[in-house]
């Protein structure tokens, strides 16, 4: 298996699929001449020409609407959102058209549309450009919401998204573009609705997705040294949600910690906690814990931004609460047992 | 579910001998019922065909609830819904009021206020441990999986023994008696030398199986005394003292699984040798678990004897709805003063526990005086019934 970056996994998938299927077109701001803000579309204009790699005006409503029209008429558009924050302008097109046209047409018209781009906090991009908007889209029937955490998942899920006939909200993460990992060769796909048990354990289930998977695995590794075997579940897709894997895991571990970068209220973690309560109530030995971003507009200052984002320390603390145990966090260990609160 | 004992409020269907469609003849056993104290074979009261079994084997039904339907051959019967199991219902006018006046046993499920994780709750329920018996170590005392496991671990916690049906009955009825009947206690010393001498004479030349015990003489003495004091041969219920026409003495029999009080009927009218024979047979059947329903009903007064355990004095709890119980200790040689001189006599202590709602100390004292007079002049126990 080749070691590739998350960025390159997405780019190579676009190339492989565009080579395979001439109906695939790319639309977005600065994706052609500028080669993409995060260089995911580097070199694609030269490769496919302006007929298939279309630089759009700065008008999300316009180009998302155009892509929906293309999809209705037989093309397979892949739209890049420069960041998902800008999709709020196109919310009406996504929610009221993309998600509903098949329903309104009595099943006659599919919308094979992928909208992809970075979601979540980056590095000092401030309040308007650091938002995690997955719960907004996962709320809407008619959409798939996909949150790859690794290069392999980015590749396998993007291929499933492009080949499918439904609108897909494909949520990448700016902080992950440079991350590297093994990616299987060939026509490798990851199905929607199948969570991955990223680490097996018996004492507590940590649920994460996208960038938070890394924090969950870091916490699990640390907890293993403290005698706690944490199971880490990587959701991979929020809609459809793999409820079965979640419930089965919690039935074995009796405890759950759900991690999201989002704000706490009405978020993905709340949906997961409710799913666990519905499916594994009698198995729970402690309330489901949520580890989430701070319920504030994202601060620009780096120190405050770090405090507003969940990390492995927060996860360790939450796991300790579900176990009714005192567990020192990594920083408490390194500072000689002093709690930083 | 027929009522097969004074204290019976429900019975458990152990085994159906007949299935729907089976013909039954009057007197044929159709079902085995477990009551609080005995297992009883229930017989069909009519000829017919079993139409429907309403209570499956293993389930409990309240007294008075239909448990099966028997149809005349060929008759169609409208099916009845199965009764709600184990929910005691009003048992009607024929039931002793004492039964309906009994408070419901406190439920061990009343742990709604206890904090426990769902898992801990489920584990405790599966293992039959009341949550109230588990120490919670979680936040605000929440009981967790670990706490339930600690409660189950051998050696770290008290052993919880669920009550058998018999112990449940004893617990319920004795609590009822102590809570509702205001007990008072009167004791006398009885010199039993003459009674023992009489017994020797009566037993002379008799086989072991025919011998009379001191307890048989006490039964007879108590029965004759009750004829003179009919107020103590009574049942108290619903604010009414019901004086009972027959003198039926319940005798306390210790079994490995608990205490049982089968009844000796008409002790005032039976000769001592017959009381002895019947008591011997009754105790034997009690030990073998072969008591019949009517062995456990009908008692009007109870005698409890711990003399064989060298007990000097004890006080018993009244067996409701009876009015009194006599507790007798061991007969022992003792120094006594007679007409100013020391003498040795064989003395037995008898303590009457009486219900103050029914009687008072003076009547209890007079009754005990009569018991003593009869035992100290025992020829009265073996002649024809004395005129009252």
CATH of residue A51:
3.40.50.970
**Which residue has 């099943």 as its token pair?**
A107
Q: What is the CATH number of the domain that holds A298?
A: 3.40.50.920
Shared domain for A143 and A213, answered yes or no, is no
Task: Please check whether residue A290 lies inside any domain of the structure.
Answer: yes
Q: Which of B120, B145, B148 to mutate to test the interface with A (most CBs of A within 10 A)?
A: B145
What residues of B are in the A interface, CB distance below 8 Å?
Answer: 117-122, 137-139, 144-146
* 8 Å CB contact of A282 and B122: yes
Q: Tell me the pTM.
A: 0.56
Where do we find the tokens 């279309």? A54
Distances (CA, A) of B32 to A98, B21, B47, B56, B261: 71, 18, 18, 12, 22
Per-residue pLDDT at B77: 61
Question: How many residue pairs bridge chain A and chain B with CB atoms within 8 Å of each other?
Answer: 27
ipTM over 0.90: no
Contacts of B124 in chain A (CB under 8 A): none
A190 domain residue, yes or no: no
Residue A139 among the catalytic residues: no
Residues of A in contact with B116 (CB under 8 A): none
Q: Is residue A223 part of a domain?
A: yes
Sign of CA dihedral A160, A163, A169, A172: positive
Please give the tally of structural domains in chain A: 2
Distance from CA of A209 to the nearest CA of B (A): 27
Cβ of A286 and B120 within 8 Å? Answer: no
Tell me which residues of chain A have a C-beta less than 8 Å from any C-beta of chain B. Answer: 254, 281-286, 324
- The answer to whether residue A188 is domain-embedded is no
Average pLDDT over residues B112-123: 86
- Calculate the average pLDDT of chain B: 85
Paired with A263 in beta bridges are A293
The per-residue pLDDT for B385 is 57
Q: State residue A207 phi and psi, 5-degree precision.
A: -105, 130
Shortest CA distance to A206 belongs to which of A287, A315, A324, A323?
A: A315
B131 to chain A, closest Cα gap in Å: 14
The verdict on A243 and A321 lying in the same domain is: yes
What's the average model confidence in pLDDT over A175-195?
Answer: 94
Smallest CA–CA distance, residue A318 to chain B, in Å, is: 14
Is the pLDDT confidence value at B93 over 70?
A: no
In chain B, where are the structural domains located?
10-72+79-95, 104-162, 167-382
pLDDT at B158: 64
Q: For residue B117, which residues of chain A lie inside 8 Å, CB to CB?
A: 284-286
B119·A285 Cβ contact <8 A? yes
Chain A residues within 8 A of B121 when measuring between CB atoms? 282
Domain stop point among A162, A183, A204: A183
**Chain B residues closer than 8 Å to A324 by CB:** 137-139, 144, 146
Asked whether the predicted pLDDT for residue B152 surpasses 60, the reply is yes
Task: Give the model's confidence band at B74: pLDDT under 50 very low, under 70 low, under 90 confident, else very high.
Answer: low
Same domain flag for A169 and A203 = no
Q: Most B CBs within 10 Å: which of A286, A287, A322, as the mutation test of the B interface? A: A286
Q: Which domain holds residue A255?
A: 196-328
| Contact at CB, B118 and A324, closer than 8 angstroms | no
Across B182-191, b (16+ Cβ under 10 Å) vs e yields: ebbebebebb
State which residue of chain A sits closest to B124, comparing Cα positions. Answer: A282
Q: Which candidate, A218, A298, A305, A213, places its Cα nearest to that of A259?
A: A213
Question: What's the CATH fold of domain B104-162?
Answer: Dihydrolipoamide Transferase (4.10.320)
The answer on pLDDT for B111 being more than 50 is no
Mark whether A274 and A160 lie in a shared domain: no
Tell me which of A123, A148, A183 is where a domain ends: A183
Domain B167-382 has CATH 3.10.20.30: no
Nearest-Cα distance to chain B for A286, in Å, is 6
Helix, strand, or coil (residue A17): helix
Which residues in chain B have Cβ-Cβ distances shorter than 8 Å to A283? 118-119, 122
Chain B nearest-CA residue for A251: B119
Q: Are residues A138 and A240 in the same domain?
A: no
The answer to whether the Cβ–Cβ distance between B117 and A285 falls below 8 Å is yes
Q: What is the pLDDT of residues A212-247, one digit of tens each?
A: 999 999 999 999 999 999 999 999 999 999 999 999
Are residues B117 and A286, on separate chains, in Cβ contact within 8 Å?
Answer: yes
Do A52 and A177 have their domain in common? Answer: yes
**A56, pLDDT greater than 60:** yes
Among chain A residues, the shortest Cα distance to B146 is held by A285
Minimal C-alpha gap between B245 and chain A (Å): 59
Residues A124 and A251 occupy one common structural domain: no
Report the residue of chain A nearest B117, measured CA to CA: A285
Distance between B147 CA and the closest CA of chain A, angstroms: 11
Q: Please tell me whether residues A264 and A236 are part of one structural domain.
A: yes
- Give the model's confidence band at B133: pLDDT under 50 very low, under 70 low, under 90 confident, else very high: confident
Does B352 score more than 80 pLDDT? yes
For helices B193-203 and B214-228, angle between their N-to-C axes, nearest 10 degrees: 120
Do A149 and A30 reside in the same domain of the chain? yes
Chain A environment of B119 (Cβ under 8 Å): 254, 282-285
Q: Check residues B260 and B109 and name the one with the higher pLDDT.
A: B260
- Check whether residue A136 and residue A203 sit in a common domain: no
- Does a structural domain hold residue A264? yes
Candidates A285, A323, A326: best to mutate against B (most CBs of B within 10 A) is A285
Chosen from A204, A228, A254, A324 to mutate, greatest number of chain B CBs within 10 A:
A324
Nearest CA in chain A to B143: A285
Q: How many whole angstroms separate alpha carbon B293 and alpha carbon B291?
A: 7
Task: Encode burial over A17-30: b for 16+ CB neighbours within 10 A, e otherwise.
Answer: bbeeeeebbbbbbe
Q: Are residues A131 and A43 in the same domain?
A: yes
> Active site residue: A8, A17, A29, A60, which one?
A60
Q: Which of B119, B137, B138 sits opposite A254 (nearest CB)?
A: B119
Task: Look up residue B115 and give its two tokens.
Answer: 């904090």
DSSP-derived letter for residue A164 is S
**Residue A325 C-alpha, separation from nearest chain B C-alpha, in angstroms:** 9
Q: Answer whether residue A75 shows pLDDT above 50.
A: yes
Please say if the pLDDT value at position B109 is more than 50. Answer: no
Q: Identify the residue with better confidence: B237 or B155.
A: B237
Q: Is the pLDDT of residue B83 over 80?
A: no
* Model confidence pLDDT, tens digit, residues B39-51: 888 888 778 888 8
Alpha-carbon gap, residue B279 to B298, rounded angstroms: 15
Band of residue B79 on the pLDDT scale cut at 50, 70, 90 = low
The answer to whether the B10-72+79-95 and B104-162 domains have the same CATH topology is: no
pLDDT (tens digit, 9 = 90+) per residue, A301-340? 999 999 999 999 999 999 999 999 999 998 888 875 444 4
User: What are the catalytic residues of B?
Assistant: 356, 360
**Run of H or E including B202:** helix B193-203
Contact A324 B120 (CB under 8 A): no
Chain B residues inside the 8 Å CB shell of A286: 117, 138, 144
- A-chain residues within 8 Å CB-CB of B144? 285-286, 324
**Residue B384 pLDDT class (50, 70, 90 cuts):** low
Domain B10-72+79-95, second-level architecture: Beta Barrel (2.40)
**Residue A220 resides in a domain:** yes
- Residue A317: its pLDDT value, please? 97
CB contact under 8 A, B119 and A324: no
Residue A189 belongs to a domain: no
Q: Are B142 and B148 in contact (CB under 8 A)?
A: no
């Amino acid at each position: 298996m080749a070691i590739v970056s998350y960025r390159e996994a997405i780019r190579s998938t676009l190339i492989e699929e565009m080579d395979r299927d001439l109906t695939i077109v790319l639309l977005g701001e600065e994706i052609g001449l500028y080669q993409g803000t995060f260089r995911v579309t580097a070199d694609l204009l030269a490769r496919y020409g302006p007929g298939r790699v279309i630089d759009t005006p700065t008008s999300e409503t316009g180009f998302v609407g155009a892509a929906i029209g293309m999809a209705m008429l037989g093309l397979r558009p892949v739209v890049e959102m420069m960041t998902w924050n800008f999709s709020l302008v196109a919310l009406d097109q996504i929610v009221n058209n993309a998600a509903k046209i098949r329903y309104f047409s009595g099943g006659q018209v599919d919308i094979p549309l992928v909208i992809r781009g970075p979601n979540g906090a980056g590095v000092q991009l401030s309040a308007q450009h650091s938002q995690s908007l997955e719960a907004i889209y996962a709320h809407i029937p008619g959409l798939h919401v996909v949150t790859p955490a690794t290069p392999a998942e980015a590749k396998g899920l993007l291929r499933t998204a492009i080949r499918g006939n439904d609108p897909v909200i494909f949520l990448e993460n700016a902080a992950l573009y440079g991350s590297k990992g093994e990616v299987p060769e060939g026509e490798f796909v990851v199905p929607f609705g199948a969570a991955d048990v990223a680490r097996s354990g018996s004492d507590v289930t940590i649920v994460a997705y996208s960038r938070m998977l890394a924090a969950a695995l870091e916490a699990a590794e640390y907890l293993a040294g403290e005698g706690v075997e944490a199971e880490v579940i990587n959701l991979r897709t929020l809609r459809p949600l793999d409820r079965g894997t979640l419930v089965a895991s919690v039935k074995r571990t009796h405890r759950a910690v759900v991690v999201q970068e989002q704000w706490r209220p009405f978020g993905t973690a709340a949906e997961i906690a409710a799913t666990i309560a519905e499916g594994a109530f009698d198995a729970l030995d402690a309330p489901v814990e949520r580890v989430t971003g701070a319920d504030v507009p994202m601060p620009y200052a780096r120190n405050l931004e770090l405090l507003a984002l969940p990390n492995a320390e927060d996860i360790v603390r939450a796991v300790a609460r579900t176990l009714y145990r005192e567990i020192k966090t990594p920083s408490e260990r390194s500072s000689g047992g002093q709690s930083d609160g | 579910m027929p009522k097969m004992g004074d204290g019976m409020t429900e019975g458990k269907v152990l085994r159906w001998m007949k299935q729907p469609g089976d013909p039954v003849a009057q007197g044929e056993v159709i079902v085995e019922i477990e009551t609080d104290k005995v297992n009883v074979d229930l017989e069909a009261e009519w000829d017919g065909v079993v139409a429907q079994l309403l209570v499956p084997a293993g389930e409990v039904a309240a007294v008075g609830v239909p448990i099966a339907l028997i149809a005349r051959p060929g008759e169609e019967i409208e099916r009845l819904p199965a009764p709600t199991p184990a929910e005691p219902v009003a048992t009607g006018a024929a039931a002793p009021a004492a039964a309906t006046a009994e408070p419901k046993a406190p439920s061990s499920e009343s742990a709604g206020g206890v904090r426990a994780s769902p898992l801990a709750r489920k584990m405790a329920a599966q293992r039959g441990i009341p949550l109230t018996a588990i120490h919670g170590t979680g936040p605000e005392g929440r009981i967790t999986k670990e706490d339930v496991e600690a409660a189950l671990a051998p050696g770290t916690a008290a052993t919880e023994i669920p009550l058998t049906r018999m112990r449940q009955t004893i617990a319920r009825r004795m609590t009822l008696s102590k809570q509702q009947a205001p007990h008072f206690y009167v004791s006398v010393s009885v010199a039993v030398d003459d009674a023992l001498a009489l017994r020797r004479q009566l037993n002379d030349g008799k086989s072991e199986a025919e011998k009379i015990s001191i307890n048989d003489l006490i039964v007879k003495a108590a029965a004759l005394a009750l004829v003179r004091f009919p107020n103590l041969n009574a049942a108290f219920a619903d604010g009414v003292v019901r004086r009972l026409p027959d003198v039926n003495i319940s005798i306390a029999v210790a079994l490995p699984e608990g205490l049982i009080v089968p009844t000796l009927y008409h002790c005032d009218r039976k000769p001592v040798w017959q009381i002895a024979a019947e008591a011997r047979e009754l105790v034997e059947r009690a030990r073998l678990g072969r008591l019949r329903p009517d062995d456990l009903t009908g008692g009007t007064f109870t005698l409890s004897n711990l003399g064989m355990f060298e007990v000097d004095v004890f006080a018993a709890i009244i067996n409701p709805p009876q009015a009194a119980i006599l507790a007798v200790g061991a007969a022992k040689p003792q120094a006594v003063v007679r007409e100013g001189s020391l003498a040795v006599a064989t003395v037995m202590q008898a303590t009457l526990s009486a219900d103050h709602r029914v009687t008072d100390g003076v009547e209890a004292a007079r009754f005990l005086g009569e018991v003593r007079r009869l035992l100290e002049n025992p020829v009265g126990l073996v002649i024809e019934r004395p005129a009252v």
